[in-house]
Amino acid sequence: MVKQPQLTQPLSTPVTSGDVARHAKVSQSAVSRAFTPGASISAKMREKILKSAVELGYRPNALARAMISGRSGLIAMLVAYLDNQFYPLMLEQISRRLQESGYQVLLFMTDPGDQDEVVSRILQYQVEGIVMASATLSSELATECARTGIPVVLFNRYVSTLPASSVISDNIEGGRMIAKYLVEGGHERIAFMAGAEDSSTNRDREAGFYKGLAERGHTVFERVVGGYSFEGAAKAARQLFGKPDRPDAIFVANDHMAFSVMDVIRHDLGLRIPEDVSVIGYDDVPQAAWKAYDLTTVSQAGSQMIEATTRMLLEQIETSAVRNKAAVFPAELVVRSSARIPRG
């Protein structure tokens, strides 16, 4: 005969440390100690308590613990949009790392209009740290977050005037490498498609790119803005390549837009890549390796950036110190077939 679940014990067991204490015939403080690593409690007592806890289905209430200890174990993760695959992958990995370290991620999908609301909620939930993972979140929001005094790490973005750490790759050098590669590939009319004008990633990639062109006696042939969106990039590409005197190469500020640009060049305009136009992106998202695009791009040191983000954040939390350090990781050109390969 199958035993029915005991009806006296509701499914959503609100079992407290007091219940366990009574059951194990010990004090409530002892129960607390049994669940606190490093607390002074005898092995015998702990065992007895753990046994009772299992029997009753007890789990410490993390919220109550947070109240008294001042440690919520919560990290706010601010993200703007997940279309660009770079971000979900980073979100996934950073979350996993934080979970492994005993923290839990509170997700904030933020929009430009949200700012005050977001900051307010972050504060209400007593998060111990904040990760801002988006190229496009406004710097006012970053400033507000930094002002809370809660440790902040900006991921793939920086605001130099802020008491917040940031983790980025060397976007300036990345831009330079791309300029070098395109010039050496013999291109004469080299264009640039910007992402979001106010993002540090775009600013640095663009600055490095122009610098690289200048170093080789070139200037940009034409500049358009795609705004880091697929549709924006398509529109800008049609305008740019739809004219008779079109570029023979383009650096697109991220891969996500580069795919859109490639589609327009090939399918709307019937041009060949790289024979008619060379295309280079930035980020090296997994799709860049997909054969249909096989995109030459610059790889951000993703796993190092993830590691640095969690390390810097946890370090700040554990030392109660708010820092303003920037970790910059090297960029690396990943050569595939979407851009003409220089000879030699």
Partner DNA sequence: CTGAAAGCGCTTACAG
Which residues of this chain interact with a copy of itself, rule CB under 8 A? Answer: 10-13, 59-64, 66-67, 72, 74, 77, 79, 81-83, 85, 87-89, 91-92, 95-96, 99, 104-109, 120-121, 123-126, 147-150, 230, 259-260, 262-263, 266-268, 286-287, 290-293
- Tell me which stretch binds DNA (CB under 7 A): 53-61, 174-182, 300-308, 328-336: 53-61
Cβ within 8 Å of residue 258, ≥6 positions away? 233, 252, 279, 280, 281, 282, 288, 293, 295, 297, 338
Exposure b/e, 50-76, CB count within 10 A at least 16 = b: bebbeebebebeeeebbeeeeebbbbb
List the one residue out of 52, 45, 42, 44 whose CA is nearest residue 16: 52
**Residue 197 or 231 having the CB closest to a copy of itself:** 231
Nearer to DNA, 76 or 339 (CB): 76
When the beta carbons of 42 and 61 are compared against a copy of itself, the nearer one is 61
Exactly one of 1, 7, 13, 32 binds DNA (CB under 7 A); which one? 32
Residue 117 makes CB contacts below 8 A (sequence gap 6+) with none
Question: What's the CA gap between 73 and 75, in Å, rounded?
Answer: 7
Q: Which does 263 bind (CB under 5 to 8 A by kind): a copy of itself, DNA, none?
A: a copy of itself
60 is a site residue for DNA (CB under 7 A): yes
The option from a copy of itself, DNA, none interacting with 329 (CB < 5 to 8 A, set by class) reads none
The answer to the question of residue 56 lying near DNA (CB under 7 A) is: no
Helix axes 17-24, 43-56, angle to 10 degrees: 120
Binding site for DNA (CB under 7 A): 14-18, 26-30, 32-33, 35-36, 39-42, 44-45, 58-61, 64-65, 67-69
